A and B are shown apart, each in its own frame.
Chain A
Amino acid sequence: MLTKLAGGRLFDPANGRHGEVADLWLRDDRIAADPGPGAAPDATYDLTGKVVMAGAIDIHSHIAGGKVNLARLLMGEEHEHHRFAGSACGCGGGSGLATPSTHTTGARYIEMGFTAAFEPAMLGSNARHAHMEMGDIPYIDTGGYLVLGSDDFLLDLIATNAGQAAINDYVAWMLTATQSLAVKVVNPGGINAFKFNARSLDLDEPGPYYGVTPRSVLTVLARAVYELGLPHPLHVHGCNLGVPGNVATTLDTIQAASGLPMHMTHIQFHSYDTEGDRKFSSGAAALAEAVNRTPTLSVDIGQVMFGQTVTASADTMAQRRTAPLAHPRKWLAMDIECDAGCGVVPFRYRDNSYVNALQWAIGLELFLLLDDPWRVFLTTDHPNGAPFTFYPELIRLLMDRDYRLAKLAEIHPDAPAHTTLGSITREYTLAEIAVMTRAAPSRILGLADRGHLAPGASADVTVYTDRPDRRAMFERPDLVFKSGRLVVRDGTLVAMAQGCTHVVRPGFDDLIERRIARHFDERLGLSLKHFRIRDEEIRHGAGPLLHPCRRREVP
């Protein structure tokens, strides 16, 4: 099947195209070179005046696994009110907004022109569940980031000075066994400390039992990820999430990386200062400055948008702290398998609340003060800051200063005084949006054939009408192709498609397996044989898509 997308304006920053008019060819599931005169495409679309981009990629969205399913159960009222029938193509049915069901998740993403989304908090003990759910989400590519850093095995390796090589082997073994794409650390050591009844743990505070500090957990993991040569740097959810004054910890965390690459996630929740009467103010400027001058760092925002949502996190310590603010007033928490935990707390962000209004402003400040769109990613930390369906509105806020100022005038009157948002004139360009949502995510995750439009890339393509109202533009693309198949036309699903699951598999020294096996037998009551996820379990037998790792040494 040969398809010609004729005469659109291509925004393909990975290949240096910023809106030039060109034809784009798709052959089967791949982008193809121009076959030259005489080629007879099976289908031709006249895209004169339209904006053409690769399919968008969400690097941090809680879409699958135990905590997501628990959140669905807890948010029963939301599901009652948002029920969807399947479309004629056999998909899109289900329910929910903040915690959409699997088919609904795939449908809402693809309708917005997203062709991949990654689950950023997959616990080893829950990985099989997460993979089953990801396999049931149609349309989009998926993958999971393995949560490490509060698992007893790792803390024991650190406490007993097992050495970096053993840690690297363990990390590589776990990534392989759980079919993961990257490594995430959540409140390093903090979830474990909580199990021993610590209710907070600062960067340089030794945790209970092991006496290991969050800083050492961070540094050994960042180093393991670097030395194993994983494409994606350590994905860091730092200490003290949501605590006023935590910007200081966040700045220290940047220092702790000491030059190793690191991705700091949902930094909006880690950018709070303590100025003003309410002892709560924006620390965005200081943080933005630090990120701007640290080229080894990348960040995503975790933008807050107003309305009802639910927070779902492995950070039981932070969730336990915010639980009294639950709306509606119910929440749940789990300690999990000498591995990590999970907490689910419903939340309603209100624009007339000082704190919520400031959170909203801090996120936007960060977006606008961070100058390199290759190192900033569009996220709401779905569903923690807001459901991912708010992205088009968020894009409009970034691209349209007048609109932003109008919204700023609507929030709690005291909030604007505590942020610099009103004075920022920057507006994102279409080219920058294409970087932030396509080219940069594929680069930071090491997905060589995603996020761009050069021949050989996966034929994931989104076509928009260029509208001044950017929200309307990004909400409803004209056409979306997934792996070369037209699946959305004028915002409506027209065909079914399946994505794939991306993984890495760095090698390891088999010696580590003996020590891990003992841990599994004695502590977890489960043998390695039953823990390990086989290729044939991924996507109903289709297996995962493997990305290479290149071992390196810390200079």
Chain B
Amino acid sequence: MTFHPEILCPFCGLGCGDIGIDRDDSGIAPRPSGCPQADRLFRRPMAVATDARMAGTPVAMDRAIAEAARLLGAARAPLIAGLATDVEGVLAALTLAARIGATVDHERSDALFRNLAVLRRFGWSVTTLAELRNRCDLVLVVGPDPAAAFPRLWERWVAPAPAFVPGGGRSVVFLGGKPLPETVQCLAGQIETQGMETDPQPDLATLVTRLRTALAGRTASSDARMAELAARLRAARYAVVVWAAGLFNGPQPDLIVEALARLVRTVDGTTRCAGLPLSGADNLIGANQACTWRTGFPLRTGFDAGAPLHDPDRFDWRARLRDADVTLWISAFRPEVPEFGTSGSVIMLAPPETAIAPEPALFIPVGTPGIDHAGDVFRADSVVALHAGALIDRGLPSVADVIGRMLAALEQSADTREKAGC
């Protein structure tokens, strides 16, 4: 058995770099990290089936690649989605999409687009995790506890004493959401909640509006607690407003995000204040970054006669699935896939342990970045990119390898057609 300390975790987007991994002949297992995601997803057996399957029947990899290229090359309305892979994998997927005229989207991009909609029409003022950790004296958490999606957020970025706050004190206020029990434990004594006095599921939009009204100094006297919170925001040296838009439920979540972006600007006019919009497990942020630098547009972009075309509603993968005749589904991080109904054929690139019913037209097992091969992923604050290394060799190719081979097969068939004069 060998022990590997300081392993980088690629899963939720917090980029913890302190995972301890034990490796022996049977595979790898993590030392308990306090994170349910890492504790589960770093556990991988050595012996896995590395064969591809065509309609459930094992086939050689070459055969599977050729079949995938044939399906994709002939597709009229192809979709490349899931897109849960490292940056190389995403870039390969974009090259393929441009080649065959496919649209691309990430499985979890819903949360991202709630934020992007605001960024694109209004802009924002935001910060990153280390700034939160070192400068922030008042954390305002809006909505459900982000720890549900980012398990070690508080432990790693808020529990440590801030370096630049005189006296080191920091308060954490939850507005319209309840901290999870682990959060309460982790931030013992620092947490206050607000807005849930009468209603366990308060209307977030209304709460944020009340706070903005208070900031503008127009509060009714009955809203004294909101006035007090507004005063605290104004008095803080560096307040950070944290939200995970993916966890907002209720209509028009992007309007809540916009209200928060405006709220941050108001406070930042006199003292410092910044937002921290969190989104992105499974390298969602990296997929969006790569799509943006390669095409000029965020995810939900397709290629129209070779030129990129973006449409956040029409190219949402759930909508697009309905009329896609071929779907390439990429899910390299975890062995789960969401339910999806399509009448087209599905080519799936996923870890070998993935259980799926019904069997897709084609299943190609791939490795996980940070486990089977090295790969780059972006952190949830969108600034820091991390290079996750390889831990075991199970003979599983990366998504980029597999797509590279599909592209080569497509080129070859194009060459043959040209030579035959058709």
CA distance A123 to B289 in the complex (A): 16
Q: Which A residues between 72 and 102 are near B, CB-CB below 8 angstroms?
A: 72-74, 76, 79-80, 83-86, 93-96, 99-102
Does A132 contact B295, Cβ atoms closer than 8 Å? Answer: no
CA distance A339 to B303 in the complex (A): 37
The answer to the question of B77 belonging to the interface, with a C-beta cut-off of 8 Å to chain A, is: no
Given contacts A331-B123, A523-B133, A529-B6, contact A125 B307 (CB under 8 A): no
| Closest residue on chain B to residue A128 by CB atoms | B385
Does A332 contact B384, Cβ atoms closer than 8 Å? Answer: no
CA distance A378 to B26 in the complex (A): 61
From B34-42, B114-122, B209-217, B391-399, the one touching the partner chain is B114-122
The answer to the question of B130 belonging to the interface, with a C-beta cut-off of 8 Å to chain A, is: yes
The answer to the question of A452 belonging to the interface, with a C-beta cut-off of 8 Å to chain B, is: no
Does B293 contact A525, Cβ atoms closer than 8 Å? Answer: no
Instruction: Produce 1/0 per residue, B290-302, CB < 8 A to A.
Output: 1011111110000
Given contacts A94-B308, A530-B387, A534-B387, contact A524 B130 (CB under 8 A): yes
Does B134 contact A338, Cβ atoms closer than 8 Å? Answer: yes
Does B385 contact A197, Cβ atoms closer than 8 Å? Answer: no
Does A95 contact B307, Cβ atoms closer than 8 Å? Answer: yes
CA distance A73 to B164 in the complex (A): 32
CA distance A307 to B121 in the complex (A): 21
Does A527 contact B156, Cβ atoms closer than 8 Å? Answer: no
A125 partner residues in chain B, CB cutoff 8 A: 128, 130, 383-384
B305 partner residues in chain A, CB cutoff 8 A: 85
The answer to the question of A333 belonging to the interface, with a C-beta cut-off of 8 Å to chain B, is: yes
Instruction: Produce 1/0 per residue, A55-77, CB < 8 A to B.
Output: 00000000010101110111010
Does A99 contact B296, Cβ atoms closer than 8 Å? Answer: yes
CB distance from B36 to the nearest CB of A (A): 20
Instruction: Produce 1/0 per residue, A317-331, CB < 8 A to B.
Output: 000000000100011
Does A128 contact B387, Cβ atoms closer than 8 Å? Answer: yes
The answer to the question of B91 belonging to the interface, with a C-beta cut-off of 8 Å to chain A, is: yes
The answer to the question of B154 belonging to the interface, with a C-beta cut-off of 8 Å to chain A, is: no
Does B293 contact A101, Cβ atoms closer than 8 Å? Answer: yes
The answer to the question of B23 belonging to the interface, with a C-beta cut-off of 8 Å to chain A, is: no
Which of A66, A133, A330, A525 is close to B129, meaning CB atoms less than 8 Å apart? A525
Q: Which A residues between 96 and 141 are near B, CB-CB below 8 angstroms?
A: 96, 99-104, 123, 125-126, 128-129, 132-133, 136
A101 partner residues in chain B, CB cutoff 8 A: 292-296, 308
The answer to the question of A334 belonging to the interface, with a C-beta cut-off of 8 Å to chain B, is: yes
Q: Which B residues between 287 and 335 are near A, CB-CB below 8 angstroms?
A: 289-290, 292-298, 303, 305-310
CB distance from B72 to the nearest CB of A (A): 17
CA distance A196 to B122 in the complex (A): 25
Q: How large is the interface on B (under 10, 10 to 19, 20 to 34, 35 or more residues)?
A: 35 or more
Which of A85, A132, A331, A522 is close to B87, meaning CB atoms less than 8 Å apart? A132
The answer to the question of B416 belonging to the interface, with a C-beta cut-off of 8 Å to chain A, is: no
CA distance A123 to B128 in the complex (A): 13
Does A79 contact B296, Cβ atoms closer than 8 Å? Answer: yes
A129 partner residues in chain B, CB cutoff 8 A: 289, 378, 383-385
Does A104 contact B387, Cβ atoms closer than 8 Å? Answer: no
A197 partner residues in chain B, CB cutoff 8 A: 237, 271-272
Given contacts A93-B307, A197-B237, contact A337 B383 (CB under 8 A): yes
The answer to the question of A45 belonging to the interface, with a C-beta cut-off of 8 Å to chain B, is: no
B383 partner residues in chain A, CB cutoff 8 A: 66, 123, 125-126, 129, 334, 336-337
Does A525 contact B127, Cβ atoms closer than 8 Å? Answer: no
A338 partner residues in chain B, CB cutoff 8 A: 130-131, 134
Does A69 contact B119, Cβ atoms closer than 8 Å? Answer: no
Does A136 contact B125, Cβ atoms closer than 8 Å? Answer: no
Which of A133, A326, A529 is close to B293, meaning CB atoms less than 8 Å apart? A133
| Closest residue on chain A to residue B289 by CB atoms | A69
Instruction: Produce 1/0 per residue, B252-293, CB < 8 A to A.
Output: 000000000000000000011010000000000000011011
The answer to the question of B17 belonging to the interface, with a C-beta cut-off of 8 Å to chain A, is: yes
Q: Which A residues between 333 and 384 are near B, CB-CB below 8 angstroms?
A: 333-339, 344
Does A530 contact B386, Cβ atoms closer than 8 Å? Answer: yes
The answer to the question of A526 belonging to the interface, with a C-beta cut-off of 8 Å to chain B, is: yes
A79 partner residues in chain B, CB cutoff 8 A: 296-297, 310
Does B293 contact A136, Cβ atoms closer than 8 Å? Answer: yes
| Closest residue on chain B to residue A102 by CB atoms | B293
CA distance A103 to B387 in the complex (A): 23
CA distance A446 to B237 in the complex (A): 44
Does A335 contact B274, Cβ atoms closer than 8 Å? Answer: yes
Does B386 contact A128, Cβ atoms closer than 8 Å? Answer: yes
Does A209 contact B120, Cβ atoms closer than 8 Å? Answer: no
CA distance A337 to B129 in the complex (A): 7
B87 partner residues in chain A, CB cutoff 8 A: 132
CA distance A344 to B119 in the complex (A): 11
Q: Which A residues between 15 and 46 are near B, CB-CB below 8 angstroms?
A: none
CA distance A79 to B297 in the complex (A): 7
CB distance from A290 to the nearest CB of B (A): 36
Given contacts A74-B119, A103-B294, contact A80 B134 (CB under 8 A): no
CA distance A17 to B130 in the complex (A): 53
Does B15 contact A335, Cβ atoms closer than 8 Å? Answer: no
Does B127 contact A85, Cβ atoms closer than 8 Å? Answer: no
A76 partner residues in chain B, CB cutoff 8 A: 120, 297, 310
Instruction: Produce 1/0 per residue, B84-96, CB < 8 A to A.
Output: 0001100100000
| Closest residue on chain A to residue B162 by CB atoms | A523
CA distance A66 to B381 in the complex (A): 11
- Most chain B CB within a 10 A radius of its CB, from A66, A133, A326, A525: A525
CB distance from B170 to the nearest CB of A (A): 15
Can you name 26 A-B residue pairings with CB atoms under 8 Å? A69-B293, A72-B296, A74-B120, A74-B123, A76-B297, A83-B307, A93-B98, A93-B308, A101-B293, A125-B130, A128-B376, A128-B386, A133-B293, A195-B135, A195-B238, A197-B271, A330-B121, A335-B131, A335-B274, A336-B128, A524-B130, A526-B15, A526-B17, A526-B384, A527-B6, A527-B18
Known contacts A69-B289, A80-B310, A123-B383, then 9 further A-B pairs from the complex at CB < 8 Å, ordered by chain A residue: A69-B293, A74-B123, A86-B306, A104-B296, A197-B271, A523-B130, A523-B163, A525-B160, A530-B15
